[in-house]
Structure formats: structure tokens, C-alpha cells
Amino acid sequence: METENGTVEIEAKALRALAIVAPKRDPRKVLAHAIHVREDRAEATDGHVLLTIDHKENATLGEKYGVNSFIVDADGLKSDVAKATKRKTVRLAVRSAGGNIDYASVTSEDDARTAEVETIEGRYPNIDSIMPKNKPEYRIAFDPNLMLTLCKAVIEATKGDVDYSNDRPHKPAMVFEIRENSANEPVMITSAPGATTKFVGAVMPMRLKELQEN
């Protein structure tokens, strides 16, 4: 008998953002195309980059609902979100038969249209275990659009380059120079030692009062 084990309201833009981070190819099935939906947040990682986004509303997941989390296919979810709704929020409902999660359904805010999306079996990596526990020395805020502009420029400038460090080849790198007063002055970004293309860049931080007071 099929039952609904839990639901979660997620912003469509959050799902699209996580789908960008989820790897297109990975030998680990629980990572390839995968978005991990938990009681308090959704998350994705390719092993090098990770992103977690908190739910705006608490999910009806957890032990009393029979499921603590589930993994959905990001590519299928991205297309199904587009089919199911043009609104800002979608509802994911986890359904199971005989105790096994078979699929999650995507429903628009007004419950007018529903699409099914494949769930992925397996144990998702414990992202909490790699999160730093110590208090940060510095907190600096950046406009992500400015950072994206500089990253695109460096990618273009170093296209086709192979850099060397300790006589070993590696991809071109951006080196961030963090100084004690970096929250109030440009953060410098340079090429790594041994770079084929030498460059220097800078990004102005956002002056957020809340960060300056902490």
C-alpha cells in the first residue's frame, strides 16, 4: 500500500541552484545528479563544491513521519519543477510502498499540477562532518556577481594553461590574499606560483554592519 511519508516546501530557485552544484557524472550513485533533502535544509555536493539551503518552512520529515531524508534526481527534478509550476514554491511529497521510498512528487503551490521525480537509493555523505567547527578568524562579504565576473575573466585568461607546482602539473588557480583589514579594503587575488599566466585582481567587499560588529 502506498503512503505519503512526509512533505517539504522548497523554493523552485533553491532547487535550480542545487542542481547546478550536483555533479552530472560521478561513480558514486548517491552523488550523481543528486539533491539531498533533509528536515531543515536541502544540499548538494560534487566532492569539491557544496551548497546547503535552509527551508523557509519546516518539513514534515523525521522519525515520526517514517523518513528522515531522501535523495532526488536533480536533472529530473529541474525539468519536473518547470512542468509542475511557474510559481516560486514547490511541494515535494515523499511516497513509499512497503516501507521503501519509491518516488517523490512535485506539486505546484495551488496543487493544480503534479509530476513525479525519481528518488535515489543510498546513504548521502555526511556534510556536517566536514564543516569547520572553530570560529572564523575573519568574515568578509562579497557580491557574488562581482566574484563571478572576476572568475569568468580569470578562466578566460588562463584557458588552456597548465601550471606547475613542485614540478607537478595542475589547473590554474586563484590565490586569495586575506589580510586583517580585508573587510574594509580590496581583497587581492593573484595567480599561483609557477603560473603560466601571471595575473592580479581585486574584489571590493560589501560593507555589512552586522559583520563589522561581530
Q: Each residue of 65-118: pLDDT tens digit?
A: 666 788 888 877 766 665 555 556 777 777 655 444 555 666 655 555 566 677
The verdict on 78 and 52 lying in the same domain is yes
Grid cell locating 211: 559583520
8 A C-beta contact, residue 192 and residue 163: yes
- Residues 82, 17 share a domain: yes
Residue 138 belongs to some domain of the structure: no
Q: Is residue 135 part of a domain?
A: no
Same domain, 6 and 83: yes
Same domain membership, residue 122 and residue 18: yes
Provide the domain limits for residue 152: 144-213
Give a yes or no: residue 96 inside a domain: yes
pTM across the whole model: 0.80
- Which pLDDT belongs to residue 100? 47
Q: Cα(first)–Cα(last) distance of the chain, in Å?
A: 53
Pairing between β-strand 89-97 and β-strand 70-73 as defined by DSSP bridges = unpaired
Which of 4-13, 43-52, 91-100, 168-177 has the largest mean confidence?
Answer: 43-52
- 120 and 176 fall within a common domain: no
Residue 64 lies in a domain: yes
> Considering the domain boundaries, does residue 40 fall inside one?
yes
Residue 81 lies in a domain: yes
- Note whether 66 and 113 are same-domain residues: yes
Check residue 147 and give its pLDDT: 93
Tell me if 14 sits within 8 A of 53, measured CB to CB. yes
Instruction: Give me the CATH number covering residue 58.
Output: 3.10.150.10
Q: Which of 189, 182, 180 lies closest to 205, judged by CA?
A: 182
* pLDDT exceeds 70 at position 31: yes
Is residue 10 domain-shared with residue 66, that is, in the same domain?
A: yes
- pLDDT value at position 82? 56
Q: Are residues 55 and 118 in the same domain?
A: yes
Looking at 100, 130, 160, the residue that finishes a domain is 130
pLDDT on residue 14: 87
Asked if 44 and 22 touch (Cβ cutoff 8 Å), the reply is yes
175 contacts 203 by C-beta, under 8 angstroms: no
Residue 137 forms part of a structural domain: no
Check whether residue 109 and residue 20 sit in a common domain.
Answer: yes
Same domain, 116 and 178: no
Counting the structural domains of the chain, the total is: 2
59 occurs within a structural domain:
yes
Edge-to-edge strand order for the sheet containing 174-177?
Answer: 174-177, 187-191, 200-203
- What DSSP assignment string belongs to 27-90? SSTTTTTEEEE-SSEEEEE-SS-EEEEE-SS--S-BGGGTBS-EEEEHHHHHHHHHHH-SSSEE
What residues contact 42, with CB distance under 8 A and at least 6 apart? 8, 10, 14, 15, 18, 35, 36, 52, 53, 55
On average, the pLDDT of the chain sits at 79
